[in-house]
Amino acid sequence: GEQVEQLPSILRVQEGSSASINCSYEDSASNYFPWYKQEPGENPKLIIDIRSNMERKQIQELIVLLDKKAKRFSLHITDTQPGDSAMYFCAASKGSNAKLTFGKGTKLSVKS
């Protein structure tokens, strides 16, 4: 089945700097790539996603890039704030109403 690799597992940045998380997938049929933010004791929250017909998507300080040829996608958080500290998970799916395959997560810490 599909596998999603996510790096780094731990990321520490200074407030105001950028943070980048990278994911790769194996199945070229994957066509949907969401990102979830999960705070301690909370449920994962969908923060941004990208479909295979796009290469770049931005929502405020969040930027997602997709390189289908390399089978890689990435999340970039610009101007990080302490409130961005959380676990971040990338995922991939193929087809409609399909299961998500998640990466193992990145623990982001933003220090003020």
Partner 1 sequence: NSKVIQTPRYLVKGQGQKAKMRCIPEKGHPVVFWYQQNKNNEFKFLINFQNQEVLQQIDMTEKRFSAECPSNSPCSLEIQSSEAGDSALYLCASSLSIYEQYFGPGTRLTVL
Binding site for partner 1 (CB under 8 A): 32, 34, 36, 38, 42-46, 49, 51, 87, 89, 91, 93, 96-102, 104-105
Smallest gap from Cβ 27 to partner 1, in A, equals 14
Smallest gap from Cβ 75 to partner 1, in A, equals 16
Q: Which is nearer to partner 1, 78 or 109 (CB)?
A: 109
Smallest gap from Cβ 16 to partner 1, in A, equals 27
Q: Which is nearer to partner 1, 19 or 34 (CB)?
A: 34
Smallest gap from Cβ 22 to partner 1, in A, equals 18
Is the omega angle on the peptide bond into residue 82 within 30 degrees of 0, that is, cis?
A: no
Spell out the SS3 assignment of the chain.
CCCEEEECCEEEEECCCCEEEEEEECCCCCCEEEEEEECCCCCCEEEEEEECCCCEEEECCEEEEEECCCCEEEEEECCCCHHHCEEEEEEEECCCCCCCEECCCEEEEEEC
Q: Which is nearer to partner 1, 30 or 74 (CB)?
A: 30
